């Protein structure tokens, strides 16, 4: 799924899907792949070949940071409960 998002985003075919489907197309793994591809393309335009690596990383930095924050919040705020077995 991720690679299909990168593939279609790199070819410019993912943008019409986002325009049609809206947020539903940007949330799943394919949306993350599209974000990587468009970030890499923009990075190459700005910084040359090195921008292919920098662009994808900087484009996804906000999403990765927020998911890490909420993961840490959840594991420190909530306590797992044991399941009770029914006899």
pTM above 0.85, yes or no: no
- Strand positions, DSSP E, 1-87: none
**pLDDT tens, position by position, 24-82:** 777 777 888 888 888 899 999 998 888 888 888 888 888 888 888 998 999 899 887 77
- The C-alpha atoms of residue 69 and residue 62 are separated, in whole angstroms, by 11
What pLDDT sits at residue 73? 93
Q: Indicate the pLDDT class of residue 85, thresholds 50, 70 and 90.
A: low
Give mean pLDDT, residues 10-33: 82
């Amino acid at each position: 799924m991720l690679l299909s998002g990168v593939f279609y985003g790199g070819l410019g075919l993912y943008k019409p899907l986002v325009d049609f489907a809206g947020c539903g197309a940007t949330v799943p793994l394919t949306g993350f792949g599209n974000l990587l591809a468009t970030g890499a393309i923009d990075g190459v335009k700005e910084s040359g070949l090195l921008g292919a690596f920098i662009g994808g990383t900087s484009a996804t930095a906000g999403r990765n940071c927020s998911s890490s924050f909420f993961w840490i919040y959840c594991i420190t705020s909530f306590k797992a409960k044991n399941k009770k077995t029914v006899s």
